[in-house]
Structure 1
Amino acid sequence: MIDGTRMRSHLCGIQSAWTETSDVREAVASVAALLDREPIGHLLVFFSPAYDAQDLIAAVDHHFPGVALLGCSSSGGISPAGAIDRGLVAIAFPRQGFRIVSDVLTRIDRLDVGGAASAVRSLRRALDQVRPDPVPGSQFALSLIDAMAKAEETVVSAVAWALDGIPLVGGSAGDDLAFAGTVLIHHGAVHTNAAVLILVETDFPIRIFKSDNFAPTPRKFVVTAACEEHRRVHELNAEPAAWEYAKAVGLDPENLTPMSFAAYPLAVKVGGEYYCRSISRVEPDGSLTFFCAISEGAVLTLAEPHDIVEATRAELSGLDEILGGLDLVIGFDCVLRRLDAESRQVRHRISDLYSRYGVVGFETYGEQYRSMHLNQTFTGIAIGRNHPA
């Protein structure tokens, strides 16, 4: 936890700033007072759902005239100084060294896949016009998606296909586990039931990544009744879902909480690798609602958490070695990882790692990595310290 407003300048020219100020206009003003605003071309913000998004846009327009604003609500912020349970995290991209284009996909609960692919290709062409001959490996894409639309799988599949090899990472917007509504911002407009796609080409070395801290156990569940549209599982192994899950982990089904789901995740096996499919809540009828799509007939495996601190340290230190020194990591960290770290009383150690390696981002309702929508995972883009030749 941190107090006040702080910022950090990175060697690549990006500036990051963060505040826990409860008033949105004061928050933006305090961030603006610390940043060098002249070189900024794009401002990426992750903010508390307590903020009014229109007031946030108005404040940014006032303090950062002419700067493109992108962002979403979160379930907590990540800063190089620690975790932020409320307030604002801002990432300011300079015009020098970064070429950025973006678009918003609307009505994603009924996504026009062909239209989405066409929009992505248009973005790629726009980026190519800025830099006709990009250096191989110099481009990446970021996705911010309204989690309440329950459409991440469709969006990510369509976008990744049209990106044609440009690596994608991102996060689903949050609202502090209220599950009432999440919002996105794209160039001065507020959006729901939408996804913001950002394409970046840079002079600096980059690497996308994903990290988790679980391993499969022998315990299996077959989804025998589900409502796929609402990501709701009614039966596991032909038994009431909450009861069967609680029995397997040794808990009372009446006392299942997000902490329970964080401590005992479920996973599916895809292409020989396990991916988390986390539970978001228990419904009054004893069914389980998930953060990811779940279909009848799917086989879920109970996963066993490993040391979250060591797994995170290994990922970040590996990136540091590969890139010859980490300058900045834009990270998307599942809110259930935070709950798990809190329950194990190691959240401060995770924050220390994020500070050491310059991680900035937000806590999500789901993560994107290439063509996959994931849960209980830490994904992101790592930017190296090496100056361009």
Structure 2
Amino acid sequence: MRGHLCGIRTAWTVAATAAEAVADVAAGIGPSRLSHLLAFFSPDYVVDDLNTALAGAFPGTPITGCTMSGGICPAGGLERGLVVVAFPEKGFRVVSAILDAIDHLDVARTASSVRALRRILETESPDAAPNRRFALSFIDGLANAEETVVSAIAWALDGIPLVGGSAGDDLNFRETVLLHQGSIHRRAAVVVLVETDYPFQIFKSDHFEPTTTKFVVTASDDEQRIVHELNAEPAAREYAMAVGLDPEALTPMSFAAYPLAVKVGGEYFCRSIRRMNADGSLSFFCAIDEGVVLTLAQPRDIVETTRSELTRLEAALGGIDLIIGFDCILRRLDAESRQVRQGICDLYRRYDVVGFETYGEQYRAMHLNQTFTGIAIGRLAAS
């Protein structure tokens, strides 16, 4: 449980039941006047119980939350539990909106909802500079709609920086859930717009670089994010041959260690594999279209690349008060397989990182994989 100079309070717990977990974090947050509460929680909690307990513990406070594939806190990575971030009324003005039925997204209505949030803040503080606002997105990680959702949100934000994460469920791929202001949602997304008096920067960090090995997607089901063929060969077999593995032995660890990337605007972005299917096809965490060229990526030092980005942020902000972060579940698997997860946890502790492990990350108008994104908030109020 921790308080920060900017007034944000954070708390986390690994309590077994929803009631116990909420009681723990409520005690950690303490009596406070809050503008908004973020809650990231394990899918094994009974979501109705959790929703009821949160409403009872934080009456009158707008609450946004989602299931996770692991928690992030200064104590390190949490395999399960509940992580909360409480924005104070002083120094933070927060508004939010739910976007339902995102697998059949109405782009115009989505843009209208986001613009309505902007108007609320602009009406409440007409003299605030545009660079005092940022947005967070939380998206159902199983709806296969992140690209459309984040593109529509970013378009309507008109330059306001956006970061976020896709809700996960511990690599079970059964159900992800979102909470918004007392209601439970599936196939949905939430956008949270924040105006603050404190300095901040959004960021992204990955630890891979492209190789010369290329794959062309020659057969795919774009809607389901399934690739049937790479280079006109069965997808799993072609991928396994390229990385020197037995196709029958492919696991989430394999996909974490050998991701694929796509080149967009001169920069490479990971397009991670979710699982191998019984027919030898590959399911992805991101949209993959037929004809796309995928590049096999090779790892760099995950601890050093993460440290480098956090050091840069610290210098740019003149000190970091805390970071709200969204880290791909495959980054954790890769760090574990290389036995360097403790190094990542040490960085979370040093920079007061709170957040959750995701099925995908959002950064500006992009949906990403195998990336660490977030918002770093500085220690001193802006002058």
TM-score range, shorter chain: over 0.9
Instruction: Give the deviation of 1:337 after TM superposition.
Output: 0.2
User: Is contact 1:137-1:206 (8 Å) kept?
Assistant: no
Q: 1:374 aligns with which of 368, 371, 377?
A: 368
User: Is contact 1:79-1:89 (8 Å) kept?
Assistant: yes
Instruction: Give the deviation of 1:206 after TM superposition.
Output: 0.5
Residue 26 of structure 2 corresponds to which residue in structure 1?
32
User: Is contact 2:2-2:28 (8 Å) kept?
Assistant: no
Q: 1:145 aligns with which of 139, 143, 157?
A: 139
Residue 381 of structure 2 corresponds to which residue in structure 1?
387
User: Is contact 1:323-1:384 (8 Å) kept?
Assistant: yes
Q: Distance in 2 between matches of 1:361 and 1:121?
A: 26
Residues 1:183 and 2:148 aligned together:
no
Residue 216 of structure 2 corresponds to which residue in structure 1?
222
Residue 78 of structure 1 corresponds to which residue in structure 2?
72
Q: Distance in 1 between matches of 2:62 and 2:31?
A: 12
Residues 1:271 and 2:265 aligned together:
yes
Instruction: Give the deviation of 1:316 after TM superposition.
Output: 0.5
Residue 291 of structure 2 corresponds to which residue in structure 1?
297
The aligned runs of 1:164-243 (5 Å cut-off) are: 164-243=158-237
Identical residues among aligned pairs (%): 67
Q: Distance in 2 between matches of 1:35 and 1:45?
A: 12
Residues 1:99 and 2:93 aligned together:
yes
Instruction: Give the deviation of 1:161 after TM superposition.
Output: 0.6
Q: Distance in 2 between matches of 1:357 and 1:148?
A: 30
Q: 2:115 aligns with which of 115, 118, 121?
A: 121
Q: Distance in 2 between matches of 1:144 and 1:100?
A: 15
Q: Distance in 2 between matches of 1:281 and 1:35?
A: 38
Instruction: Give the deviation of 1:65 after TM superposition.
Output: 1.0
User: Is contact 2:103-2:187 (8 Å) kept?
Assistant: yes
Q: 1:248 aligns with which of 242, 245, 248?
A: 242
Residue 59 of structure 1 corresponds to which residue in structure 2?
53
Q: Distance in 2 between matches of 1:86 and 1:120?
A: 32
Instruction: Give the deviation of 1:388 after TM superposition.
Output: 3.9
Q: Distance in 1 between matches of 2:245 and 2:373?
A: 30
Instruction: Give the deviation of 1:54 after TM superposition.
Output: 1.4
| AA partner of residue 158 (structure 1) | A
Residue 315 of structure 2 corresponds to which residue in structure 1?
321
Q: 2:35 aligns with which of 41, 44, 50?
A: 41
Residue 109 of structure 1 corresponds to which residue in structure 2?
103
Q: Distance in 1 between matches of 2:224 and 2:127?
A: 44
| AA partner of residue 303 (structure 2) | V
| AA partner of residue 356 (structure 1) | R
Instruction: Give the deviation of 1:37 after TM superposition.
Output: 2.4
Task: Give CA-to-partner distance per residue, 1:159-200, whole Å, 9 cap, x none.
Answer: 101100001100000000000010000000000000000000
Instruction: Give the deviation of 1:136 after TM superposition.
Output: 3.6
Residue 334 of structure 1 corresponds to which residue in structure 2?
328
| AA partner of residue 65 (structure 1) | P
| AA partner of residue 17 (structure 2) | D
Instruction: Give the deviation of 1:292 after TM superposition.
Output: 0.2
Q: Distance in 2 between matches of 1:46 and 1:138?
A: 25
Which consecutive residues of structure 2, in runs of 5 or more, have no partner in the other structure?
A: none
Moved more, 160-169 or 62-71: 62-71
Residue 16 of structure 1 corresponds to which residue in structure 2?
10
| AA partner of residue 91 (structure 2) | G
User: Is contact 2:34-2:88 (8 Å) kept?
Assistant: yes
Task: Give CA-to-partner distance per residue, 1:251-270, whole Å, 9 cap, x none.
Answer: 00001000000000000000
Instruction: Give the deviation of 1:314 after TM superposition.
Output: 0.3
Residue 288 of structure 1 corresponds to which residue in structure 2?
282
| AA partner of residue 284 (structure 1) | A
Count, aligned residues: 383
Q: Distance in 2 between matches of 1:100 and 1:35?
A: 18
Residue 300 of structure 2 corresponds to which residue in structure 1?
306
Q: Distance in 2 between matches of 1:32 and 1:112?
A: 37
TM-score computed with the length of structure 2 as normaliser: 0.99
User: Is contact 2:325-2:353 (8 Å) kept?
Assistant: yes
Q: Distance in 1 between matches of 2:40 and 2:174?
A: 17
Task: Give CA-to-partner distance per residue, 1:253-308, whole Å, 9 cap, x none.
Answer: 00100000000000000000000000000000000000000000000000011000
Instruction: Give the deviation of 1:387 after TM superposition.
Output: 2.5
User: Is contact 2:130-2:160 (8 Å) kept?
Assistant: no
Q: Distance in 1 between matches of 2:381 and 2:366?
A: 32
Q: Distance in 2 between matches of 1:128 and 1:328?
A: 26
Instruction: Give the deviation of 1:33 after TM superposition.
Output: 1.4
User: Is contact 1:22-1:86 (8 Å) kept?
Assistant: no
User: Is contact 1:242-1:288 (8 Å) kept?
Assistant: yes
Residues 1:132 and 2:126 aligned together:
yes
